Amino acid sequence: MRFSNAFIPTVKEAPKDATSPSHIFLIRGGYVRMIGSGLYEMLPLGFRVLKKIMAIVRDEMDGAGAQEVLMPGLLPATYFKETGRYDGFGDTLLRLKDRKGGEYHLGPTHEEIITDMVRREVKSYRHLPINLYQIQMKYRDEPRPRAGLLRCREFLMKDAYSFDTCHEDALKSYAIMREAYKRIFTRLGLDFRIVKADSGAMGGDTSAEFQVLAQTGEDDIVACHACEYAANVEVATAKRQDDATSDESPGDLAKVHTPGVGSIEDVVGFFQKNDHSHIDATRVLKSLVYLSKSGQGADAKEEIVLAVVRGDHEVNEIKLTRALGATEVLLANEKTVRQATGAGIGFAGPVDAKVRVLIDESAAAVKNAATGANEQDHHLVNVNHGRDFEGEVVDLRSVTDGDPCPNCGEPLASFRGIEGGHIFVLGTHYSAKMGAEFLNAEGKRNPVVMGCYGIGVSRLMASAIEQHHDEGGIIWPMAIAPYQVIITTLGKGKKKDEAAEAEATKIYEALRAEGLEVLLDDRKERPGVKFKDADLIGVPLRVTVGGRGLGEGVVEYKKRGGGDLEKIPLDTIVARVISDVRAELP
């Protein structure tokens, strides 16, 4: 492509509402434009990148035995009504009516539609397994679109669905997808982790997220450097810490007057100064009063509960919610705390608590702990779980940087991640509800066992930039760069240098003849403008053809991601570029 004929509207200043690197550079580099909250146009450069990501995804999906289909994006409401998701999706579902008043919605995902397709056509175990996928726009009325392509209301997604005769085979399909995803993310040039995640309300018991590591990610994850363990903090666990006090024998329970001492910090400070210098945060039981809500509408219920973790730990509200089987939990206000404990905030404790008590495993292991006395300005010391109070022992704490890996005990490191893919074993959740059944070898009807596998294609485009950029712009991995090479011609200012132009065109044609994707910057612009644009757009390789080099019979060659400026003789530059491009394309 000749830049002079291209539609690549680069800009010096991004709109003020662009904040994350990918958003800023996608706009500045002329890749995308926003036309509404969470709605983006793909300009030529942006669409080239998107097509490259799609090509890799298709290649690996096809290679893994999946077949591509295309379902409508506009869906009759009946299918989602079958599974309850027409209402269950809530405001996220974009609903609309046709001219006859018929109910429709835009597809946020396609489990129901694909399940319907399969139930109509697949009748026998002989037809299974199958794996069908599509790449299409998905629509979700996000409460808050953000960060450009990272969270949109319309976004490009690859969604695949596997159908097997039994759970065991479904796990095989899942494993095949897991491997395919690893290859996809690797080929895309992304630094990623496969992490354990919350399966959500979809009833899957096996799932994993493919998290692209990036500062701007919305998800907190932890990963072990020594073993394979990695998990979203929503579900991450740490090895139980119970060694410190395990060989102590229980002391006598005693009440201590602790005026105005509420926070863990204050409690530890107070005891350190008042004859209990052995008490640090790990020995304090932090007790938080929560309001647990469950059920909906007329069935809605509220319960006050006490969540107990070690003083140096934090309560993970997702774990607490799950342990309670609640829909949500809210930290109680002062009034509720008084009602539940008889004291102000800061003096709650599990001993003689009048509400349901849940205690974290590590907290339960602490011997001779200090904790609130459920009495204003008092704490208890030498508190022991089992002797002084009861409570359901569960995993309640949030795992943080440095906590021991649950597998090997090595310290976990924390990262921010962008969820680029998510794979689930769904089981028979949809097939049972929708009657997607097959006859097995004995002639008996069984629901098909499903799995689903998503990749946020447009999100990955932004994720790649989050991971690969510098102050000047994007640094594309070769595999998804809109062009592999940019040839920058330097004329005499805005006047063209005929000789440079001719040499550049020769190189351009030679590279194109080899199938390379080349952008020839033949614009009548000053050198600075061309260099800045080349960096911004992020083309991996740059060949500079100018009078200065041509005098010595060389062109200049630079890799966007780093490396020195090299002078390459005119007669070898083509071979060099071809070899470098191919070296980076697995």
Partner RNA sequence: CGGGGCGUAGCGCAGUUUGGUAGCGCGCACGGUUCGGGACCGUGAGGUCGAAGGUUCGAAUCCUUUCGCCCCGACCA
**Closer CB to RNA, 37 or 263, in the complex:** 37
SS3 413: strand
Closest CB 87 distance from RNA, rounded Å: 12
Helix axes 44-63, 457-467, angle to 10 degrees: 110
Asked if 449 and 174 count as a contact pair (C-beta separation under 8 A), the reply is no
Name the minimum Å distance from CB 573 to RNA. 14
Omega within 30 of 0 (cis) for the link into 129: yes
The minimum distance between CB 287 and RNA, in angstroms, equals 21
Cβ 80 to RNA, closest distance in Å?
10
The distance from CA 15 to its chain's CA centroid, rounded to whole angstroms, is 26
Summarize as ranges the residues that interact with RNA (CB under 7 A).
Answer: 10-17, 19, 28, 34, 36-38, 89, 92, 108-109, 138, 140, 142-147, 151, 157, 159, 200-202, 218, 328, 422, 454, 472, 490, 492-495, 526-529, 531-536, 544, 546-549, 556, 558
Nearest to 537 by CA among 44, 49, 53, 29: 29
Residue closer to RNA (CB basis): 184 or 373: 184
Q: Which is nearer to RNA, 338 or 496 (CB)?
A: 496
Nearer to RNA, 159 or 361 (CB): 159
Minimum CB separation of residue 438 from RNA in Å reads 24
**Pair 25, 12: CB distance under 8 Å:** no
Q: What is the per-residue DSSP string for 25-85? A: HHHHTTSEEEEETTEEEE-HHHHHHHHHHHHHHHHHHHHTT-EE----SEEEHHHHHHHTH
Q: Which residues 6+ apart lie within 8 Å of 49 measured at CB?
A: 31, 461, 476, 480, 481, 482
Residue closer to RNA by CB (options 123, 494) is 494
Q: Report CA torsion sign: 337, 338, 342, 347.
A: positive
Which of residues 245 and 321 has its CB atom nearest to RNA in the complex?
321
Query: Could you say which DSSP state residue 31 is in?
Result: S
The CB density around residue 562, as the number of other CB atoms within 10 Å, is 8
Q: Which amino acid is at 529?
A: V
* Of the candidates 493, 548, 485, 550, the residue with the CA atom closest to the CA atom of residue 523: 493
Rounded Cα gap, residues 46 and 295, in angstroms: 45
To RNA, the closest distance from the beta carbon of 235 in angstroms equals 13
Smallest separation, CB 558 to RNA (Å): 6
If the CB atoms of residues 210 and 389 are measured against RNA, the closer one turns out to be 210
In the complex with RNA, which residue's Cβ is closer, 165 or 232?
Answer: 232
**Closest CB to RNA among 225 and 526?**
526
Least CB distance to RNA at residue 158 (A): 10
Q: Are 231 and 194 in contact (CB under 8 A)?
A: no
Beta pairing class for 437-439 and 412-427: unpaired
d(CA 208, CA 181): 11
Q: How far is the CB of 393 from RNA (least distance, A)?
A: 25
